Structure 1
Amino acid sequence: MNGSLAGFEERRLAELKEHVAARAAAERAGRPHAVAERAGWPRRRMVLAVAAGAAIAAVASVVTVSSMGGADRAYAVTKDSDGIVYVTVRDFRDAAGLTRQLKSLNVPAIVDFVPAGQKCKEPRAEPVTDIPRGLYYAPRNIPGDDAGSGWQMQINTKLFKPGQTFVWTLAVDPVYGGSDTSTILMRDPVAPCELVPDDVQHVVPKMPFPEVTSLGGYRVEGKTVGEVLPEIEKRGLKVTYLITEPPPERYPGDPYLMYPTKQGTPVGADWFVWQADEPEKGVIRLMVTQKLQKP
């Protein structure tokens, strides 16, 4: 991890780099408005994208172990004889407990849990730009955890300088309901997390979701809300909406954008459905926009 990543949320940065690179490649190929296809998008939940670092090493010569929970522990923190701390998190709600465990192992850290649709008011402190290489590796999915229910990372406690705090923000992804995390090294003092509405745009990719089984093969894409609702109601299903907007006119064909602060806007029968999923059995989520995206 180098200083150029300081202050950025890993998943957003990974999305941005991949999306820009794909668009640039399309433009070089003479297709300035080609859809930037993305490999590896999760089908129902956005979890974590790896931004930097190598695979997390196995813990050797463990001298300290801290954990909370039973067989499916909410989190586990271990420290080896070289001062490397390994963190595995599966439940993000006990941010205060994880903060205490990290500090007990000499990791100067603050962990905050942020509900969907909110964010911590910025600035909280001055980000550190000269991050030592190897101080930490960005959070990554737990190997073998197909459900994407948590993440793991490692931190070298010997590389912290006095007056620095490692700030984690654990959040619920507002689109897919999975977990988001930002990892930022800041200079003390760090202000508490003051929750404010999330006004950041979130990318909602156009992608082949698994078939919505409760609809029995009925396709919603390209239809209006007024056309789709009777079919859903006939099947006794509930409906929720994810309100989205087409991308700027300069980039037709790109993924739609979602703003948490605009959720809850009344959806009209003439709105268009461009994608749907089934976040839980019996609940159909329609991704809608007031106007169709230009091809």
Structure 2
Amino acid sequence: MNGSLTGFEERRLAELKEHVAARAAAERVIRPRRRIVLAVAAGAAVAAGASVVTVSSLGGAAPAYAVTKDSDGIVYVTVRDTAPGDVPDVKGLTGQLKSLNVPATVDYVPAGQKCREPRGTVVTDIPRGLYHTPTTIPGDPDGWQMQIDTKLFKPGQTFVWSLDVDPVTGWNGTSTILMRDPVAPCELVPDDSPHYVSTMPWAKATSLGGYQAQGKTVGEVLSEIDKRGLKVTYLVTELAPDKPRYPDMSYVMYPTKQNTPVGKDWFVWQADEVEKGVIRVYVTQKLAAPRHH
């Protein structure tokens, strides 16, 4: 991974087959899922000469988003987390960014889907400072903010910003990439790309009373789960198709294969409690060889 931000996990969009050639041009950040709300960036509204644009949320309880632009041509956007289930107003946000001279398109991508590629030609020589990877808002661990320098866009470029739901973790994510015009609209199609799955340190089946599920068969683990009256869901995984880039990413999952029937002779390599009383088991037909560090 590219390092970590407070409360974030960064991943390169190069994990998607269509963007292999654009590894230096794309950024992806994922964070625990709630609901994406875009609001005024902390401190941005008081910047000298700042202009503020806000739009009410669908529910009317709080602003759905607001963007600011200071006298230096810097546009600020903040993303905050609230309740799950709502779809962000990406059309409205796209319009407001354009009104502040950001040639942008914003798309929402549900879990298990992706935008059909190619959408356009990726810009690899991105000017330093054009936009910054989202960073934590000081004093607000549940939000993050991004800034975009409108002076650095060249004619015929579009800032493509996707707000998506990670199919493995269920967390909200954001992907940013710069393209040359024309950029095709996001046509949602099933996501058939491999998603590398990490052995996450917090992934513990805490309701199994210390029972170690790793390495056991699905049948053995199901028997243990049944004894406790718990429910089970599966994350169907396969061995990584290539040499893992990181020691803790030996498996991949394909969203289009999540309805594959799971055999009791399959293996469990990880388990976690996705919600109270529901255990998710990570299953595979073939276990990865042990790694020596």
Shorter chain as normaliser: what TM range? Answer: 0.7 to 0.9
CA deviation map 1:11-40 (0-9, x unaligned): 225989xxxxxxxxxxxxxxxxxxxxxxxx
Question: Following superposition of structure 1 onto structure 2, how do residues 139-218 of structure 1 map, counting pairs within 5 Å?
Answer: 139-147=134-142, 150-218=143-211
Query: Do the aligned residues in 2 keep the contact of 1:73 with 1:90 (CA within 8 Å)?
Result: no
1:133 to 118, 121, 128: 128
| Cα separation, partners in 2 of 1:214 and 1:76, compared to 1, 3 Å | farther
Q: CA deviation at 1:286?
A: 0.4
CA deviation map 1:164-184 (0-9, x unaligned): 211111110011111222211
Instruction: Name the stretch that deviates more: 173-182 or 129-138.
Output: 129-138
1:226 aligns with 2:226: no
Instruction: Report the residue type matching 1:98 in the other structure.
Output: L
Match of 1:108 in 2: 103
1:274 aligns with 2:269: yes
Q: CA deviation at 1:81?
A: 1.2
Instruction: Report the residue type matching 2:260 in the other structure.
Output: T
Query: Do the aligned residues in 2 keep the contact of 1:74 with 1:90 (CA within 8 Å)?
Result: no
Alpha-carbon distance between aligned partners in 2 of 1:289 and 1:80, rounded to the nearest angstrom: 52
CA deviation map 1:175-196 (0-9, x unaligned): 1111222211222221111111
TM-score using structure 1 length? 0.75
- Give RMSD over aligned pairs: 3.0
Alpha-carbon distance between aligned partners in 2 of 1:239 and 1:145, rounded to the nearest angstrom: 34
| Cα separation, partners in 2 of 1:128 and 1:79, compared to 1, 3 Å | same
| Cα separation, partners in 2 of 1:249 and 1:120, compared to 1, 3 Å | closer
Match of 1:83 in 2: 73
Query: Do the aligned residues in 2 keep the contact of 1:225 with 1:271 (CA within 8 Å)?
Result: yes
In the alignment of these two chains, the number of paired residues is 251
CA deviation map 1:55-112 (0-9, x unaligned): x995322521123447765433111111100111236622112112212222111000
Q: What is the DSSP-based 3-state SS (H/G/I as helix, E as strand, rest coil) of the residue aligned with 1:214?
A: helix
Q: CA deviation at 1:126?
A: 1.6
Query: Do the aligned residues in 2 keep the contact of 1:139 with 1:153 (CA within 8 Å)?
Result: yes
Q: CA deviation at 1:236?
A: 2.3
| Cα separation, partners in 2 of 1:204 and 1:79, compared to 1, 3 Å | same
Instruction: Report the residue type matching 2:278 in the other structure.
Output: V
Query: Do the aligned residues in 1 keep the contact of 2:164 with 2:172 (CA within 8 Å)?
Result: yes
Q: What is the DSSP-based 3-state SS (H/G/I as helix, E as strand, rest coil) of the residue aligned with 2:220?
A: helix
Query: Do the aligned residues in 1 keep the contact of 2:203 with 2:270 (CA within 8 Å)?
Result: no
Instruction: Report the residue type matching 1:191 in the other structure.
Output: A
Instruction: Give 5+ residue unaligned stretches, structure 2.
Output: 1-9, 17-28, 35-40, 82-86
| Cα separation, partners in 2 of 1:247 and 1:73, compared to 1, 3 Å | same
1:63 to 47, 50, 67: 50
Q: CA deviation at 1:45?
A: 4.5
Structure having the higher strand fraction is 2
Q: CA deviation at 1:146?
A: 4.1
1:123 aligns with 2:118: yes
Instruction: Name the stretch that deviates more: 264-273 or 213-222.
Output: 213-222
CA deviation map 1:105-162 (0-9, x unaligned): 2211100000111111111112223322211112234444445xx5321001112222
Alpha-carbon distance between aligned partners in 2 of 1:249 and 1:203, rounded to the nearest angstrom: 11
Instruction: Report the residue type matching 2:154 in the other structure.
Output: K
Instruction: Report the residue type matching 1:75 in the other structure.
Output: Y
Identity of counterpart residues, as a percentage? 71
Q: CA deviation at 1:253?
A: 6.0
Query: Do the aligned residues in 1 keep the contact of 2:15 with 2:195 (CA within 8 Å)?
Result: no
1:95 to 90, 94, 112: 90
| Cα separation, partners in 2 of 1:290 and 1:62, compared to 1, 3 Å | farther
Alpha-carbon distance between aligned partners in 1 of 2:15 and 2:140, rounded to the nearest angstrom: 22
2:278 to 254, 270, 283: 283
Match of 1:51 in 2: none
Query: Do the aligned residues in 2 keep the contact of 1:62 with 1:78 (CA within 8 Å)?
Result: no
Query: Do the aligned residues in 1 keep the contact of 2:272 with 2:279 (CA within 8 Å)?
Result: yes
| Cα separation, partners in 2 of 1:144 and 1:205, compared to 1, 3 Å | farther
Q: Greater relative contact order: 1 or 2 (C-alpha under 8 angstroms, separation 6 or more)?
A: 1
TM-score using structure 2 length? 0.75
